[in-house]
Amino acid sequence: MPRWLPRAMVLALTLYACLQLGSWAFHQLIGLLMNILIAFFLALAIEPAVGRMAARGMRRGLATFLVFFGVLAAGIGFVVLLGSMLADQIVTMVEDFPKYLDSVISWINQTFHTELSRVEVQDSLLRSDWLRKYVQNSASGVLDVSATVLGGLFKLLTIFLFSFYFAADGPRLRRGLCSVLPPAKQTEVLRAWEIAVDKTGGYLYSRGLMALVSGFSHYVLLEILGVPYAPALAVWVGLVSQFIPTIGTYLAGALPMLIAFTVNPWYAVWVLGFVVVYQQFENYVLQPKLTARTVDIHPAVAFGSVIAGTALLGAVGALIAIPAVATLQAFLGAYVRRYDVTDDPRVQGHHKRGAGGVLQRIRARVVRAAPDEAEAATVAEPSVAPGRN
């Protein structure tokens, strides 16, 4: 046996054990790493506001606390307003449920020529096995829901805590990172940090604009239909549809439909149609233009980055994909050498190939071939003349 073989085997086994240990630790800490990633982008988003307040002489810790307090107060106020509105509507729906049931039963009797009554329908619902199983499953799932809510609150507290430290100790964090790098690399890191702040702020700015447009559009519709709590519903639609990826649109449209149904069932259909039409307008017209201008990336790249982020990290990836790609693109753009583009019609987009182009190419070839044939005839003519004589 070679002398190096035992040492190589020990080294290979050690590397394999370290790889397995690192993989296990990564899977155990994936939740914490995701929370830290969200907190980092949240700190980048509030960095401009904290920086302006700190430039005026305020301590960064106090400035960060004031910014978070404003965001938290706005969120709590919105939740309280929405909760009171939802509670009132639920009470109204429960009180008016017999009236809705009578109208549905009368429509069924007139359309299908049946003889249903509300008492029979209520008795059949109360005695059904489906309702009994649903109540049992709901009672057994209360603990699961409570654990999910507590876990979500703990994750939210973790994100806010890390983002507070990232924002309040931003200069110290940058100094600590730059202290282990040479001066040239320090400049690149600080430039990347500044670009990330600008792109994340631009992304949130574009989302805020789209939330404003969406909320105003739905507010106009709800006011025309006479749906109660139109301002609160408009704010709900604007915020939820823009800041909750993937399922935000469906969550945003469900509540206005429910409230509109309490006024008139046909109003819910109108709200559904408007939500679908506006979503198409936002996806294909509004969002690509605003995202491309504020984040400075192509609409196709923005759309592809959201799909890739969703596939890799789920909802978190969809939320941070666009600012991350915009930051990477802007940072790499400073090191990519650009050249002047040649003045060619194919590059400028004005060159069109068609039947006219084909005919012109054939005519040019004929014109080029004509002098050659004439020259060949001139050369062959003297050799034929003596034979005739």
What pLDDT is attached to residue 262? 76
Quick check: 19 and 297 in contact, CB under 8 A? no
Q: At what angle do helices 248-263 and 60-112 cross, to 10 degrees?
A: 50
Total count of residues recorded for the chain: 389
The b-or-e profile of 318-330 (16+ CB within 10 A means b, else e) is bbbbbbbbbbbbb
Closest by CA position to 203, among listed 292, 103, 88: 292
- pLDDT in the model for residue 177: 83
Question: How many Å apart are CA 15 and CA 379, to the nearest integer?
Answer: 83
3-class secondary structure, 128: coil
Q: Are 197 and 331 spatial neighbours (Cβ–Cβ below 8 Å)?
A: no
> CA 97, CA 104: separation in Å to the nearest integer?
11
Tens digit of each residue's pLDDT, the chain (389 residues): 788 888 889 899 999 999 999 999 988 888 888 888 888 888 888 888 888 888 888 888 888 889 888 888 887 877 777 677 667 766 776 777 777 777 777 878 888 877 777 677 667 766 666 666 766 665 555 556 666 777 778 888 888 888 888 888 888 888 888 888 888 788 888 888 887 787 777 777 778 888 888 888 888 988 898 887 788 788 888 888 887 755 677 788 888 888 888 778 888 889 889 888 888 888 777 777 776 666 666 667 777 777 887 777 776 777 777 777 777 777 676 666 667 777 767 766 655 554 445 555 566 565 555 555 455 555 444 444 444 44
Other beta carbons within 10 angstroms of residue 374's beta carbon come to 10
pLDDT of the residue at 20: 93
| Token pair of 94 as six digits | 């429960």
Residue 177, both tokens: 């990172």
Residue 286 DSSP label: I
pLDDT of residue 19: 94
Token digits for 56?
């005026």
State the pLDDT at residue 16.
94
